[in-house]
């Protein structure tokens, strides 16, 4: 009913991580849950990834593939030991219970009611394992008007308002170009687990963590929700321009696009100086942020004229050194090969594995690559 998945261990003698000693049983698939457990594993938790006989579907979400594994899967499943387990059989469920005896956390994203049908719901497990923290990642939660329905990142972006404020003003609503809802759901699941582990020091009890894509998507609506609460006006798409600040948008240069993020009048004055036209900050149309917002098209035209002989990368560094928030618009290859990316160690390249490294930098207990993403062998029928 269960079978080991191959998993190399390149760093068996790595320093202890901040979560060393924490044991996580990971029943989740796709992105939100696996992203959460990779964070935990990066920082020392022992993560056992349990997959159904068919495997995590993202193993096949390619090309590209790396040694038979989809790069999508590789990107969020390091630092885990793999097993296949068929929970539809009594033997599989009993084996899971044997793993939970020593586990601190179980995380899953089964359709609501599935684990309950198998006698593995929270209300049952808490009687057997009172210290166990049970984290469920779902689309909408178990109850309410949409309770029990499946959830998907793009659908959450559409339903929860993200697409309505993303894109150009005259263009249709646009999906954010990365699975932001799945990933922030994984981050919130991680935060919830760490909170529950901390609380358990006092209560000595586990608890149920109810993390939904629906809630997490809505939580991302700043400042649009705040603007709506304050004004009653429905937020609209504004492209790269900020609804509350100007200039806060991309401007074309002779080579590349430059993003300006001017947050106050002092920064705007300094921008005008650095662009060789200090009088711009004294123009009555641009004196304050409110003035600049009201006259955004005219301001954009002025900036485009002043930047038409510049190069985005060079000018961005000049502006940053002068205290003016600015950045070139880079593609994925450009940022992954950027010298500061290398300096910060944000590309993990070790033992044949390449991926985005942990952004959480701890001085004594840093994140480590301990295990490569587990391979997979399908179970034979039993």
Catalytic residue annotation: 182
Element (H, E) at 81: strand 81-85
Q: Beta partners for 353?
A: 350
Element (H, E) at 49: strand 46-51
Q: Are 200 and 131 in contact (CB under 8 A)?
A: yes
Residues in the chain: 382
State the Cα–Cα distance between residues 206 and 193, nearest whole angstrom. 10
What ranges in the chain are assigned the alpha helix state H?
32-42, 71-74, 90-100, 114-117, 122-128, 153-159, 180-203, 213-219, 224-231, 265-274, 289-294, 296-307, 312-321, 332-336, 339-343
Q: Assign 270 to helix, strand or coil.
A: helix
State the Cα–Cα distance between residues 252 and 310, nearest whole angstrom. 9
State the Cα–Cα distance between residues 322 and 197, nearest whole angstrom. 44
Longest dimension (CA), the chain: 80
State the Cα–Cα distance between residues 343 and 169, nearest whole angstrom. 38
């Amino acid at each position: 009913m269960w079978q080991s998945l191959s998993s190399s261990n390149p760093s068996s003698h790595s320093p202890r991580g901040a979560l060393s000693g924490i044991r996580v049983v990971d029943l989740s698939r796709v992105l939100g849950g696996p992203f959460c457990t990779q964070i935990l594993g990066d920082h020392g938790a022992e993560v056992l990834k349990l997959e159904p006989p068919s495997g995590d579907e993202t193993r096949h979400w390619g090309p590209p593939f790396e040694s038979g594994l989809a790069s999508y899967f590789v990107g969020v499943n390091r630092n885990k030991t793999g097993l296949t387990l068929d929970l539809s059989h009594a033997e599989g469920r009993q084996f899971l219970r044997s793993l939970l005896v020593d586990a601190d956390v179980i995380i899953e994203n089964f359709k609501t009611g599935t684990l309950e049908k198998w006698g593995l719901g929270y209300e049952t497990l808490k009687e057997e394992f009172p210290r166990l923290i049970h984290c469920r990642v779902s689309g909408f939660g178990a109850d309410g008007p949409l309770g029990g329905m499946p959830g998907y990142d793009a659908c959450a972006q559409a339903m929860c308002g993200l697409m309505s404020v993303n894109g150009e003003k005259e263009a249709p609503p646009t999906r954010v170009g990365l699975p932001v809802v799945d990933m922030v759901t994984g981050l919130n699941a991680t935060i919830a687990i760490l909170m529950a582990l901390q609380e358990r020091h006092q209560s000595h009890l586990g608890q149920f963590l109810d993390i939904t894509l629906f809630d997490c998507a809505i939580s991302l609506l700043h400042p649009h929700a705040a603007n709506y609460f304050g004004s009653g006006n429905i937020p609209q798409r504004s492209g790269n321009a900020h609804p509350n600040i100007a200039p806060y948008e991309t401007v074309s240069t002779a080579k590349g696009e430059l993003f300006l993020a001017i947050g106050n009048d002092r920064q705007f004055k300094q921008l005008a100086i650095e662009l060789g036209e200090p009088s711009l900050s004294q123009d009555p149309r641009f004196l304050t942020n409110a003035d600049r917002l009201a006259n955004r098209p005219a301001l954009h035209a002025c900036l485009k004229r002043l930047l038409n002989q510049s190069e985005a990368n060079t000018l961005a560094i000049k502006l940053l050194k002068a205290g003016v928030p600015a950045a070139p618009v880079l593609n994925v290859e450009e940022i992954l090969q950027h010298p500061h990316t290398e300096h910060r160690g944000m590309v993990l390249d070790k033992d044949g594995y390449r991926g985005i490294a942990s952004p959480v930098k701890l001085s004594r207990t840093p994140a480590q690559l301990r295990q490569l993403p587990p391979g997979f062998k399908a179970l034979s029928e039993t």
